[in-house]
Amino acid sequence: MRDLRQHREALALNTATLGHRSPIEEVIDRCAEAGFGAIAPWRRDLDGRRPADVAARLRDRGLVVTGYCRSTYFTHASESERRAAIDDNARALDEAAELGAVSFVLVVGGVPEGLRDITAARQQAIDGVGALLERARAAGVSLAIEPIHPMGAAARAVVNTLAQALDWCDVLDPERAGGLGVMVDAYHVWWDPALETGITRACRDGRVLGYHVSDWLRETRDLVTDRGMMGDGVIELRRIRGLLEDAGYTGPVEVEIFSATDWWVRPEREVLQTCMSRLLDVC
Ligand code: ZN
Protein backbone atom coordinates (compact mmCIF):
# COMPACT_ATOMS: atom_id res chain seq x y z
CA MET A 1 0.00 0.00 0.00
CA ARG A 2 1.19 3.52 -0.71
CA ASP A 3 2.53 5.70 2.06
CA LEU A 4 0.22 8.67 1.52
CA ARG A 5 2.78 10.97 3.14
CA GLN A 6 4.78 10.56 -0.04
CA HIS A 7 1.77 11.24 -2.28
CA ARG A 8 0.42 14.76 -1.80
CA GLU A 9 -1.39 14.43 -5.13
CA ALA A 10 -3.45 11.59 -3.65
CA LEU A 11 -4.66 13.59 -0.63
CA ALA A 12 -7.97 15.03 -1.72
CA LEU A 13 -10.69 17.07 -0.08
CA ASN A 14 -14.29 17.16 -1.20
CA THR A 15 -15.53 20.66 -0.39
CA ALA A 16 -18.81 19.32 1.08
CA THR A 17 -16.67 18.31 4.07
CA LEU A 18 -16.47 21.97 5.12
CA GLY A 19 -20.22 22.49 4.77
CA HIS A 20 -20.03 25.13 1.99
CA ARG A 21 -19.65 27.91 4.55
CA SER A 22 -16.85 29.91 2.94
CA PRO A 23 -16.27 31.19 -0.58
CA ILE A 24 -14.47 28.67 -2.79
CA GLU A 25 -11.43 30.96 -3.06
CA GLU A 26 -10.84 30.67 0.71
CA VAL A 27 -11.52 26.96 0.69
CA ILE A 28 -8.95 26.47 -2.06
CA ASP A 29 -6.31 28.43 -0.14
CA ARG A 30 -6.96 26.60 3.16
CA CYS A 31 -6.99 23.27 1.44
CA ALA A 32 -3.59 23.87 -0.12
CA GLU A 33 -2.19 25.21 3.17
CA ALA A 34 -3.38 22.07 4.97
CA GLY A 35 -1.32 19.92 2.61
CA PHE A 36 -3.95 18.59 0.23
CA GLY A 37 -2.98 18.13 -3.39
CA ALA A 38 -6.43 17.66 -4.86
CA ILE A 39 -9.95 18.96 -4.42
CA ALA A 40 -13.48 18.12 -5.50
CA PRO A 41 -15.65 21.24 -5.77
CA TRP A 42 -19.43 21.30 -5.95
CA ARG A 43 -21.49 23.23 -8.46
CA ARG A 44 -22.81 25.45 -5.69
CA ASP A 45 -19.22 26.51 -4.92
CA LEU A 46 -19.04 28.10 -8.36
CA ASP A 47 -22.23 30.07 -8.02
CA GLY A 48 -21.78 33.37 -9.90
CA ARG A 49 -18.17 32.66 -10.81
CA ARG A 50 -16.44 31.91 -14.09
CA PRO A 51 -15.06 28.36 -13.99
CA ALA A 52 -11.91 29.66 -15.71
CA ASP A 53 -11.21 31.99 -12.77
CA VAL A 54 -11.61 29.19 -10.26
CA ALA A 55 -9.43 26.95 -12.42
CA ALA A 56 -6.68 29.59 -12.44
CA ARG A 57 -6.69 29.79 -8.66
CA LEU A 58 -6.58 26.01 -8.37
CA ARG A 59 -3.58 25.86 -10.68
CA ASP A 60 -1.90 28.66 -8.75
CA ARG A 61 -2.30 26.73 -5.47
CA GLY A 62 -1.16 23.46 -7.05
CA LEU A 63 -4.46 21.64 -6.63
CA VAL A 64 -5.83 19.20 -9.16
CA VAL A 65 -9.57 18.62 -9.49
CA THR A 66 -10.66 15.03 -8.88
CA GLY A 67 -14.41 15.00 -9.42
CA TYR A 68 -16.93 17.77 -10.01
CA CYS A 69 -20.00 17.25 -7.81
CA ARG A 70 -22.58 16.37 -8.78
CA SER A 71 -25.24 15.51 -11.32
CA THR A 72 -28.86 16.59 -11.27
CA TYR A 73 -31.03 13.49 -10.80
CA PHE A 74 -31.83 11.72 -14.06
CA THR A 75 -35.01 10.07 -12.79
CA HIS A 76 -38.29 11.97 -13.14
CA ALA A 77 -41.95 11.23 -13.74
CA SER A 78 -42.11 13.16 -17.01
CA GLU A 79 -40.10 13.03 -20.20
CA SER A 80 -39.66 16.82 -20.22
CA GLU A 81 -38.14 16.78 -16.72
CA ARG A 82 -35.79 13.98 -17.72
CA ARG A 83 -34.70 15.96 -20.78
CA ALA A 84 -34.16 19.07 -18.66
CA ALA A 85 -31.98 17.06 -16.29
CA ILE A 86 -29.81 15.85 -19.15
CA ASP A 87 -29.43 19.42 -20.42
CA ASP A 88 -28.49 20.64 -16.96
CA ASN A 89 -25.95 17.86 -16.56
CA ALA A 90 -24.50 18.70 -19.96
CA ARG A 91 -23.89 22.28 -18.74
CA ALA A 92 -22.22 20.90 -15.62
CA LEU A 93 -19.99 18.74 -17.80
CA ASP A 94 -18.79 21.87 -19.60
CA GLU A 95 -17.97 23.47 -16.25
CA ALA A 96 -16.14 20.32 -15.18
CA ALA A 97 -14.08 20.47 -18.35
CA GLU A 98 -13.17 24.11 -17.73
CA LEU A 99 -12.08 23.23 -14.21
CA GLY A 100 -9.94 20.39 -15.55
CA ALA A 101 -11.84 17.81 -13.50
CA VAL A 102 -11.02 14.15 -14.03
CA SER A 103 -14.64 13.16 -13.60
CA PHE A 104 -18.19 14.38 -13.18
CA VAL A 105 -19.79 12.59 -10.25
CA LEU A 106 -23.22 11.11 -10.92
CA VAL A 107 -25.78 10.60 -8.18
CA VAL A 108 -28.41 9.28 -10.51
CA GLY A 109 -31.67 9.89 -8.62
CA GLY A 110 -34.17 7.73 -6.78
CA VAL A 111 -37.69 6.59 -7.53
CA PRO A 112 -39.64 9.59 -8.88
CA GLU A 113 -42.64 10.71 -6.89
CA GLY A 114 -45.78 8.94 -8.01
CA LEU A 115 -43.94 6.20 -9.91
CA ARG A 116 -43.43 3.23 -7.48
CA ASP A 117 -41.40 1.35 -10.10
CA ILE A 118 -37.73 0.98 -9.30
CA THR A 119 -37.06 -1.00 -12.47
CA ALA A 120 -38.35 1.87 -14.61
CA ALA A 121 -36.36 4.37 -12.53
CA ARG A 122 -33.21 2.35 -13.09
CA GLN A 123 -33.80 2.35 -16.83
CA GLN A 124 -34.32 6.12 -16.76
CA ALA A 125 -31.00 6.52 -14.97
CA ILE A 126 -29.17 4.27 -17.45
CA ASP A 127 -30.71 6.18 -20.37
CA GLY A 128 -29.73 9.51 -18.80
CA VAL A 129 -26.12 8.50 -18.27
CA GLY A 130 -26.03 7.10 -21.79
CA ALA A 131 -27.31 10.39 -23.20
CA LEU A 132 -24.30 12.21 -21.71
CA LEU A 133 -21.57 9.77 -22.58
CA GLU A 134 -20.47 11.05 -25.99
CA ARG A 135 -20.47 14.62 -24.70
CA ALA A 136 -18.34 13.56 -21.73
CA ARG A 137 -15.84 11.85 -23.98
CA ALA A 138 -15.64 14.93 -26.20
CA ALA A 139 -15.11 17.13 -23.13
CA GLY A 140 -12.41 14.85 -21.74
CA VAL A 141 -14.30 14.39 -18.45
CA SER A 142 -15.28 10.89 -17.38
CA LEU A 143 -18.70 10.10 -15.95
CA ALA A 144 -18.37 8.55 -12.49
CA ILE A 145 -21.45 6.60 -11.41
CA GLU A 146 -21.54 6.58 -7.61
CA PRO A 147 -23.40 3.61 -6.11
CA ILE A 148 -25.32 4.86 -3.07
CA HIS A 149 -26.15 2.86 0.08
CA PRO A 150 -29.51 1.08 -0.42
CA MET A 151 -31.11 3.30 2.22
CA GLY A 152 -30.87 6.03 -0.44
CA ALA A 153 -32.59 4.04 -3.19
CA ALA A 154 -35.94 5.85 -2.85
CA ALA A 155 -34.74 9.43 -2.57
CA ARG A 156 -31.25 9.68 -4.06
CA ALA A 157 -30.02 6.88 -6.29
CA VAL A 158 -31.34 3.61 -7.64
CA VAL A 159 -27.83 2.27 -8.23
CA ASN A 160 -26.88 0.67 -4.95
CA THR A 161 -23.97 -1.72 -5.26
CA LEU A 162 -20.63 -1.64 -6.98
CA ALA A 163 -21.58 -4.70 -9.04
CA GLN A 164 -24.73 -2.96 -10.27
CA ALA A 165 -22.83 0.20 -11.21
CA LEU A 166 -20.30 -1.91 -13.10
CA ASP A 167 -23.10 -3.74 -14.90
CA TRP A 168 -24.42 -0.36 -16.06
CA CYS A 169 -20.95 0.57 -17.28
CA ASP A 170 -20.84 -2.66 -19.29
CA VAL A 171 -24.24 -1.95 -20.83
CA LEU A 172 -23.35 1.62 -21.79
CA ASP A 173 -19.73 1.05 -22.73
CA PRO A 174 -19.33 -2.59 -23.76
CA GLU A 175 -16.15 -1.85 -25.71
CA ARG A 176 -14.56 -0.12 -22.70
CA ALA A 177 -13.89 2.88 -24.88
CA GLY A 178 -13.41 5.08 -21.83
CA GLY A 179 -15.17 8.06 -20.34
CA LEU A 180 -17.28 5.96 -17.96
CA GLY A 181 -16.60 4.41 -14.59
CA VAL A 182 -17.51 4.36 -10.93
CA MET A 183 -16.88 6.43 -7.84
CA VAL A 184 -16.18 4.10 -4.94
CA ASP A 185 -17.39 5.71 -1.72
CA ALA A 186 -16.49 3.66 1.36
CA TYR A 187 -19.56 5.03 3.16
CA HIS A 188 -21.87 3.54 0.56
CA VAL A 189 -20.21 0.20 -0.15
CA TRP A 190 -18.43 -0.90 3.06
CA TRP A 191 -21.24 -3.27 4.13
CA ASP A 192 -21.40 -5.19 0.83
CA PRO A 193 -20.33 -8.86 1.12
CA ALA A 194 -19.36 -8.69 -2.56
CA LEU A 195 -17.16 -5.62 -2.14
CA GLU A 196 -13.87 -7.40 -2.73
CA THR A 197 -15.15 -9.00 -5.94
CA GLY A 198 -16.52 -5.65 -7.08
CA ILE A 199 -13.26 -3.82 -6.46
CA THR A 200 -11.26 -6.48 -8.28
CA ARG A 201 -13.62 -6.30 -11.26
CA ALA A 202 -13.72 -2.50 -11.28
CA CYS A 203 -9.94 -2.19 -11.26
CA ARG A 204 -9.50 -4.93 -13.85
CA ASP A 205 -11.88 -3.10 -16.16
CA GLY A 206 -10.24 0.28 -15.55
CA ARG A 207 -13.47 1.69 -14.11
CA VAL A 208 -12.39 3.21 -10.78
CA LEU A 209 -12.44 6.98 -11.14
CA GLY A 210 -12.04 7.86 -7.48
CA TYR A 211 -12.32 6.76 -3.86
CA HIS A 212 -14.24 8.66 -1.15
CA VAL A 213 -13.63 8.16 2.56
CA SER A 214 -15.53 9.04 5.74
CA ASP A 215 -16.87 6.70 8.42
CA TRP A 216 -20.13 4.98 9.30
CA LEU A 217 -21.13 5.89 12.84
CA ARG A 218 -22.65 2.94 14.70
CA GLU A 219 -25.68 5.01 15.68
CA THR A 220 -26.52 6.99 12.56
CA ARG A 221 -29.11 9.74 13.07
CA ASP A 222 -29.53 10.98 9.50
CA LEU A 223 -29.25 9.09 6.23
CA VAL A 224 -27.31 11.84 4.48
CA THR A 225 -25.75 14.31 6.89
CA ASP A 226 -24.47 12.22 9.80
CA ARG A 227 -21.24 10.81 8.43
CA GLY A 228 -18.33 10.28 10.76
CA MET A 229 -14.70 11.34 10.58
CA MET A 230 -12.44 8.52 9.43
CA GLY A 231 -11.54 6.43 12.48
CA ASP A 232 -14.68 7.29 14.45
CA GLY A 233 -16.90 4.55 13.01
CA VAL A 234 -16.94 0.94 11.87
CA ILE A 235 -15.54 1.00 8.32
CA GLU A 236 -12.30 -0.90 7.69
CA LEU A 237 -10.76 1.93 5.73
CA ARG A 238 -7.25 0.47 5.57
CA ARG A 239 -8.60 -2.81 4.27
CA ILE A 240 -10.67 -1.16 1.55
CA ARG A 241 -7.79 1.02 0.34
CA GLY A 242 -5.63 -2.11 0.43
CA LEU A 243 -8.10 -3.94 -1.79
CA LEU A 244 -8.14 -1.05 -4.24
CA GLU A 245 -4.39 -0.63 -4.38
CA ASP A 246 -3.71 -4.37 -4.55
CA ALA A 247 -5.97 -4.34 -7.60
CA GLY A 248 -3.99 -1.51 -9.16
CA TYR A 249 -5.70 1.70 -8.04
CA THR A 250 -3.30 4.64 -7.88
CA GLY A 251 -5.75 7.55 -7.68
CA PRO A 252 -6.72 9.95 -4.92
CA VAL A 253 -8.14 9.21 -1.48
CA GLU A 254 -10.80 11.86 -1.02
CA VAL A 255 -12.38 12.94 2.25
CA GLU A 256 -16.11 13.52 1.87
CA ILE A 257 -17.98 14.09 5.14
CA PHE A 258 -21.55 15.35 5.40
CA SER A 259 -21.98 16.19 9.06
CA ALA A 260 -24.62 18.79 9.85
CA THR A 261 -24.35 18.71 13.63
CA ASP A 262 -20.65 18.04 14.15
CA TRP A 263 -17.95 18.72 11.55
CA TRP A 264 -19.92 21.39 9.69
CA VAL A 265 -20.10 23.47 12.86
CA ARG A 266 -16.42 23.18 13.80
CA PRO A 267 -13.83 25.72 12.62
CA GLU A 268 -12.68 24.92 9.08
CA ARG A 269 -9.01 24.79 10.03
CA GLU A 270 -9.71 22.20 12.73
CA VAL A 271 -11.71 20.12 10.25
CA LEU A 272 -8.94 20.24 7.65
CA GLN A 273 -6.22 19.35 10.15
CA THR A 274 -8.26 16.44 11.49
CA CYS A 275 -9.03 15.20 7.98
CA MET A 276 -5.35 15.29 7.10
CA SER A 277 -4.14 13.49 10.20
CA ARG A 278 -6.86 10.80 9.90
CA LEU A 279 -6.14 10.37 6.18
CA LEU A 280 -2.54 9.66 7.03
CA ASP A 281 -3.15 7.58 10.17
CA VAL A 282 -6.30 5.50 9.64
CA CYS A 283 -7.18 5.44 5.92
ZN1 ZN B 1 -19.14 10.14 -2.28
The CA 227 to ligand 1 mean position distance, Å, reads 11
The CA 53 to ligand 1 mean position distance, Å, reads 26
Q: Where in the sequence is the domain holding 154, given as residue range(s)?
A: 4-281
The CA 185 to ligand 1 mean position distance, Å, reads 5
What's the predicted TM-score (pTM) here?
0.98
The CA 256 to ligand 1 mean position distance, Å, reads 6
Q: What is the mean pLDDT of the chain?
A: 98
C-alpha triplet 4, 163, 96: angle, nearest 5°: 60
* pLDDT per residue as tens digits for the range 16-26: 999 999 999 99
Cβ atoms of 9 and 34 closer than 8 Å: no
* pLDDT per residue as tens digits for the range 34-53: 999 999 999 999 999 999 99
Q: Provide the sign of the torsion angle of the four alpha carbons 231, 234, 236, 241, taken in this order.
A: negative
**What count of other Cβ atoms lies within 10 Å of the Cβ of residue 110?**
20
* pLDDT per residue as tens digits for the range 220-257: 999 999 999 999 999 999 999 999 999 999 999 999 99
The CA 235 to ligand 1 mean position distance, Å, reads 14
The CA 147 to ligand 1 mean position distance, Å, reads 9
What's the CATH number where 180 sits? 3.20.20.150
Number of domains the chain is built from: 1
Residue 89, CB-side half-sphere exposure with 13 Å CA sphere: 33
